[in-house]
Amino acid sequence: MAAVLATPPEAGQGAIHLPETCLPEEFFGEFVDHFYKIKREAKNELERTIAKLMLNSLYGKFGQKEKKYRIKIVSKDEGENIIKKYHYSYFSIINDNTVLIKYSSKLNDKLRKLYKDQEDEILNETYFKKERGILSAVQISCAIAAYARMSINIYKNMPNYIVYYSDTDSIVINKPLNENIIGKELGKWKLEAIIKKGLFVRPKLYAYYTKDDKLKRVASGVDANSLTFHDYEKISQGIPIKTEKVQLSVNWSKLEIESFKQDITLKLRND
């Protein structure tokens, strides 16, 4: 029997249902409707990608962790030495010899050396001042993630259905869902593919053939197109597969982003 892959229109957004006390136009309703309309009506891939990113990043930003800070009262000389080497967000003079400073991670040494000749100017202009840019509200991100999980769990536990694979925003089952919950409207499911043959090795590592014999491959962190269906078969049998992952690094002397390939091994997880 063919398997069916279905996904909600927007993971974590349209698929969830917040409490009944929350009206559609409240609690990011207008935000979601605005960007979902752009995504659905986008005339080019860039516009669609940006709209999708705005939707998918909404709840995650509220749960984003801010870097830990240290707060110290130190001598003025020690304080000036700290702000040469660390990101800082607060520097207050208490008296002629003492300052209060709030700082976090260390500045990149290569970046700092580029400006060594301008050290006094940088110190005075506070070019390396670290401003807090994250307004966290973990309770919002937790609530949205929880409602998203609850909404998809209903479909993962339907009677007379076999679930082969499920992720945050998708489910692979042995037969189609009811037509009344399939559609392009926000909150409905989308039929992605009818699967003739598939291997779901572990989360975000799978491959399948559609009924039209098209091969779809997913491999988080690596170029899935470099893998064959036979590679997925080997991994599922416990045989590791070596491939390459493209990494990015900063060349501080040239102020350029460079890419390089790193060897990586795909294998079954212990769990």
Q: What pLDDT digit, counting tens, does each position of 164-199 carry?
A: 999 877 899 999 888 888 887 877 888 889 999 999
- Output the pLDDT for position 126: 47
Q: What is the pLDDT of residues 106-161, one digit of tens each?
A: 776 666 666 665 555 544 444 445 455 556 778 888 888 888 888 888 889 999 99
At residue 233, the pLDDT reads: 94
Pair (52, 143) in one structural domain: yes
Domain membership flag for residue 76: yes
Name the domain boundary from 103, 125, 147.
125
- Residue 217 included in any domain: no
Residue 76 and residue 54 in one domain? no
d(CA 176, CA 258): 46
The pLDDT value given to residue 38: 92
> ∠82-77-68 over CA atoms, to 5°?
25
Phi, psi of 29 (to 5 degrees): -55, -50
Amino acid at position 224, single letter:
A
Asked whether residue 92 is assigned to any structural domain, the reply reads: yes
**Could you give the dihedral angle defined by the CA atoms of residues 171, 42, 57 and 186, in that order, rounded to the nearest 10 degrees?**
-50
The answer to pTM > 0.75 is no
Q: How much is the pLDDT for 213?
A: 93
Domain span at residue 27 reads 3-61+137-188
How many C-beta atoms surround the C-beta of residue 201 within 10 A? Answer: 22
Q: Are residues 141 and 161 in the same domain?
A: yes
234-241 mean pLDDT = 92
Q: How many domains does the chain have?
A: 2
Instruction: Tell me whether residue 211 is in a domain.
Output: no
13-66 pLDDT tens trace: 333 444 444 565 566 778 888 898 899 898 899 999 999 899 888 777 788 776
Whether 115 is in a domain gets the answer: yes
Query: Around Cβ 46, how many Cβ atoms within 10 Å?
Result: 9
Sheet of 86-93: strands edge to edge? 70-75, 98-106, 86-93
Task: Give a yes or no: residue 247 inside a domain.
Answer: no
Q: In what order do the strands lie in the sheet with 3-7?
A: 163-167, 170-173, 3-7, 190-202, 205-210, 215-219
Written as six digits, the tokens of 102 are 């709030």
Model confidence at 231, in pLDDT bands (50, 70, 90)?
A: very high
User: Are 49 and 162 in the same domain?
Assistant: yes
Residue 154 falls inside a structural domain:
yes
β pairing state of 190-202 and 205-210: antiparallel
